[in-house]
Amino acid sequence: MDISYVLLLFGIGFIGSFLSGMLGIGGAIVKYPLLLMVPPLFGLQGLTAHEVSGISALDVLFVSIAGVIGFRKSGYLNKSLITTMGISIGIGTFLGSFASDYLSENQINVVYGLLASLAAIMMILPKKEAANISLDEFQFNKPVAVVLAFFVGISSGIVGAGGGFLLIPIMLLVLQIPIRMAIASSLAITFISSVAGSIGKIITGQVEYLPAIIIIIAGIIAAPIGAKVSAKLNSKVLEKILAVLIIGTAIKIWIDFL
């Protein structure tokens, strides 16, 4: 592996993980298309959809915990929300990561495109303002949270994502959770999901370890920086940035696929 390939992978990892820490997503929504499409544009070795999903799963494991560390003193980590959705999404992700080994390259890409499109639709739908609700007294619908987290886990496990880019729209639109709580808590839930996903990807032999290590190192550096930036931004600004990111990625993946 030459230095140009190492630098390119590091750059992809840094950008994706900075956004992960800032917006509460695992970073896979950015890194998946970048890892799949960018290296060949520079005449470098391309990665298959299975390899990208394996790398993404392992990367999200480290990046999400780095982001959680950045939020540990913020007061926005909701333990009840994390436990309820974390257990459910972990089970779903473990099943999805195993299922991916039986899918073709195109099928994995289609799953990713559908997930990004669904997240984009959810982000542009109107949401009830929940920012003024006391974080200590906040309540949410636990049965709905469990069911939705399970299905997010299955689908995100297929593409090696932690599910953060779907969890946040669900938290905002369906569970009506304040944006800062959603961003911080989703990172912790994503960590639980990524543990299950990583185990499944490793067992099925879908991980390229050297690229994964490079991307993980970049992520460990960038995610806490993103989390600190997040704490200084207006919640509406964060929501708009996330919406643009998800919508743009969904459009890009379908244009390339079609």
Residue 239: per-residue pLDDT: 65
Q: Please give the pLDDT value at position 86.
A: 92
- Alpha-carbon distance of 60 to 81, in angstroms, equals 20
**What total of structural domains would you count in the chain?**
1
Does residue 230 carry a pLDDT above 70? yes
Say if residue 217's pLDDT is above 60: yes
pLDDT tens string 170-189? 888 888 888 778 888 888 89
Residue 25 is predicted with a pLDDT of: 64
Q: How far is CA 42 from CA 9, 35, 238, 257, in A?
A: 12, 12, 32, 20
Chain position carrying tokens 């990004």: 116
* Lowest-pLDDT range of 66-75, 109-118, 130-139: 130-139
What pLDDT, on a 0 to 100 scale, did the predictor assign at position 136? 58
Contact 50, 67 (CB under 8 A): no
Q: How confident is the model at residue 134 (pLDDT cuts 50, 70, 90)?
A: low
Cα separations in angstroms, 143 against 175, 180, 237: 11, 22, 30
For 73-112, the pLDDT digits (tens) are: 777 788 888 999 999 999 999 999 988 888 888 888 888 8
What per-residue confidence (pLDDT) applies to 133?
55
Q: Look at residue 42 in the predicted model and tell me its pLDDT.
A: 86
Residue 101: give the domain boundaries.
3-257
Q: 74 near 148, Cβ under 8 Å?
A: no
User: Which pLDDT does position 151 carry in this prediction?
Assistant: 92
Cα distance between residue 234 and residue 41, in whole Å:
36
Residue range 240-254: average pLDDT? Answer: 73
pLDDT at residue 130 is higher than 60: no
Write down the pLDDT at residue 87. Answer: 93
With cut-offs at 50, 70 and 90, classify the pLDDT of residue 135.
Answer: low
Average pLDDT over residues 205-212: 88
Q: How far apart are CA 25 and CA 58, in angstroms?
A: 14
Confidence band of 114 (pLDDT split at 50, 70, 90) = confident
The pLDDT confidence band at residue 235, using thresholds 50, 70 and 90, is low
How high is the pLDDT of residue 144?
A: 94
Region at 205 (left for phi over 0; alpha for psi -120 to 50; beta for the rest): left
What is the reported pTM? 0.76
DSSP string, 93-125: HHHHHHHGGGS-HHHHHHHHHHHHHHHHHHHHS
31-35, 71-75, 192-196: segment of lowest average pLDDT: 71-75
